[in-house]
Amino acid sequence: MTSTNALILQHQDDAPPGLVLEVLEAHGLPSQTVRLDRGEALPDPSTVTIAVTLGSDASADDRGRAWVRTELEWIAGADRAGTAVLGLCFGAQALAAALGGGVERATAPERGWVRVRTAEPALVGHGPWLAWHDDVIDLPGSAQLLAQNDSGPQAFRLGRHLGVQFHPEVTPQIVRDWVDSSRDGDATDAQKLLADTAREFPHAADRARTLFTGFISSVRRRS
């Protein structure tokens, strides 16, 4: 892997990179995907310019899982090596946990399309964004809060890194897969969520491309 490439950290079958892969390719950033949950080996972070860590049913504080420990250690090494990390949902929680913060259990799961209060709307729009999580991020002391809602922090910057609690990468098929496999049907009105997704996705995809492009541009400005 050369230093111009991107690395995608995937943790389960139904949480693929979705739209972020499209944007990486559009910006000439070929990517490699590593399945942490399958024990696949991570490269030396010094050979990676951008790492994107995706969602998971796991919690970033579940250090009983070997792959979670491995990921947190790798992110800390990536920070030292100068790699820029983009964390999406679990990935944002892992980014925070690896660099001095943590996660707490939310009082209630956050599912569906949500709006955020943003301090940087040119990068992180007000939404709606697709949310699907059970935890709340405890930000590292040096993090800059970019967006939040009543559930907690929704986006933050930490040096060259960016974490978002929601899922800008989702496609309608990804949302359908999550609805089909959901174990908390009482917390998710499936038909409403699918209808909301069909309505919101075209505009949400534009916001996601803006977010991903802004992150990539910031990394290139630093290089």
CATH superfamily of 6-170+202-222: Class I glutamine amidotransferase (GATase) domain (3.40.50.880)
Name residues whose C-beta falls within 8 Å of residue 139's C-beta, 6 or more positions apart in sequence: 96, 101, 145, 153, 156
Catalytic, out of 11, 133, 161, 167: 167
Q: Which amino acid is at 59?
A: S
Please say if the pLDDT value at position 46 is more than 90: yes
Domain boundaries, the chain: 6-170+202-222
> Each residue of 161-211: pLDDT tens digit?
999 999 999 999 999 999 988 765 545 688 899 999 999 999 999 999 999
State the Cα torsion 88-51-103-209 to the nearest 10°.
-20
Can you state the angle between helices 90-98 and 66-81, rounded to 10 degrees?
60
**Catalytic residue status for 126:** no
Q: Where are the alpha helices (DSSP H) in 57-189?
A: 66-81, 90-98, 172-181
CA distances from 100 to 40, 93, 135 (A): 26, 11, 17
Q: Which residue has the higher pLDDT, 212 or 108?
A: 212
**Catalytic residue status for 169:** yes
> Each residue of 98-151: pLDDT tens digit?
999 999 999 888 999 999 999 999 999 999 999 999 999 999 999 999 999 999
* Whole-structure pTM value: 0.94
CA distances from 183 to 20, 36, 109 (A): 26, 23, 12
In angstroms, rounded to a whole number, what is the distance separating the alpha carbons of residues 84 and 75? 9
Catalytic, out of 89, 110, 133, 161: 89
Mean model confidence pLDDT for the chain: 93
Q: How confident is the model at residue 3 (pLDDT cuts 50, 70, 90)?
A: very low
Going 4 to 165 to 198 to 120, the CA torsion angle's sign is negative
**Catalytic residue status for 120:** no
Name residues whose C-beta falls within 8 Å of residue 77's C-beta, 6 or more positions apart in sequence: 45
Catalytic, out of 71, 110, 133, 169: 169
